[in-house]
Amino acid sequence: MANVGVLGAGSWGTALSVLLHDNGHQVTIWSIDKEEVEMLDKRREHQLKLPGVKLSDDIAITGNMEDAITGKDFLVLAVPSPYTRTTARNMSPCVSRGQIIVDVAKGIEESTLKTLSQQIEEEIPQADVAVLSGPSHAEEVGKRLPTTCVIGARTRETAEYLQSMFLNKVFRVYTSPDILGIELGGSLKNVIALAAGIADGLGYGDNTKAALITRGIAEISRLGVKMGGQIETFGGLTGIGDLIVTCASVHSRNRKAGYLIGQGKTMQEAMDEVKMVVEGVYSARAAACLAGKYGVSMPIVTEVNNVLFEGKDPAQAVDDLMLRESRSENKSLLWKD
C-alpha cells in the first residue's frame, strides 16, 4: 500500500483518488478552494464536477498543502493546466528530493511554450516528474468503466512503479519513455477537439468529424516529431486514442465549448457555459506559436485560432480549410512511374 497525495480536487483528481483508493492506497486530496474542501469532506462527493461518484470515508480531505505532500510515497498533480506552474511553485518547499510527482493535466504554457512536466521540473527541480495520459474521461473512470492510459517517466523504474500503483481490472496502464510525445499529444488534441465541436455545432456530419480527426493527428504528429517526440506515440493511446475520445465524447469539455461556438456563442460565452477549464483554448495560441517556431504546417490549428481570437466566422473557417491548395495525402508515398 502507498500513501498518496492528490493535489487538485476537480473531476479528474477526484476520479483518480477513487481509483487509487480502490487499489488499497491511502489517499489525501488537497484543494485550494475552501468550499470544495468542505463539500468533499461533508458530502463525500463532488456534486458539481463528478456527481454520483462517492468518496470513501477514509479518503482524507484537506486545504493544507503541506499535509497533502509531506511523507507521501508519490503525488498526483491534477490542477488545471493554467495553474500548474503556480501550484508547483507553492508545492516546492514541501517536496522531498526524489519524491515522485505524476502530472495528469494537459496543456502548454502560452508565454514560454513549455509542457506541464517542464514547468514542474523548473519549479520543483528536486522532484521525479512523470505524466499520466490517454483517452480517459473522469466521468467514466469514476464509474469504474474500462479505461487504458500511459505512464511516461524519465526512468523505467519510476514508470513501472507507477504502473503498479494505478493498474487494476478496469484501469490498464502502459509505460513509455516519451514524456514529450505524450504531453504534446494530450495538449494538442484539445485544440483539434475544439474544431470537431465547432463542426458539430455547425450541423456537419460524421464525414467532417472523421476528416478533422485524421488530419488533426497528421498535424499533431508533424509538430511532435519535429520537436523530438516519437512517431509511435502519436499513433498510440495518447495520440490518436486521446484525440478520438476528445473529439467524439459527450464528456469532452473542449468539444462542448467548440459546439457552442459553432452555434454562435463567443469563446467566453462558451467557456462560461461549460463551467470548467477548457484547456484547448489555452493551448491553441501556444500550438500556433510552436507551429511557427518549428516551421510546421497546421491549418486546423490556424483556423481554430482565427475563430477563437480573431472573430472569424466558423463556417468560413471550414470553407477555407476545404478550399486550400490541393496536395497529396502523404508526401513520403511515391508513384512508381
**C-alpha triplet 103, 64, 53: angle, nearest 5°:** 60
Q: Please indicate whether residue 189 is annotated as part of the active site.
A: yes
177 SS3 class: coil
Rounded Cα–Cα distance for residues 99 and 311 (Å): 45
Q: Are 77 and 111 in contact (CB under 8 A)?
A: no
**Cell numbers representing residue 336 in the block:** 512508381
- Measured CA to CA in angstroms, residue 14 lies from 69, 202, 297 at distances of 17, 34, 38
Q: Are 236 and 177 in contact (CB under 8 A)?
A: no
Q: Which helix (H) or strand (E) holds 71?
A: none
Burial class of residue 82 (count of CB atoms within 10 Å of its CB; 0-12, 13-18, 19+): middle
Closest CA to 174 of 118, 214, 222, 136: 136
- Measured CA to CA in angstroms, residue 33 lies from 8, 39, 64, 81, 179 at distances of 9, 10, 11, 16, 30
Rounded Cα–Cα distance for residues 132 and 179 (Å): 9
Which of 49, 72, 106, 189 does the annotation list as catalytic? 189
Rounded Cα–Cα distance for residues 153 and 289 (Å): 26
Catalytic residue annotation: 189
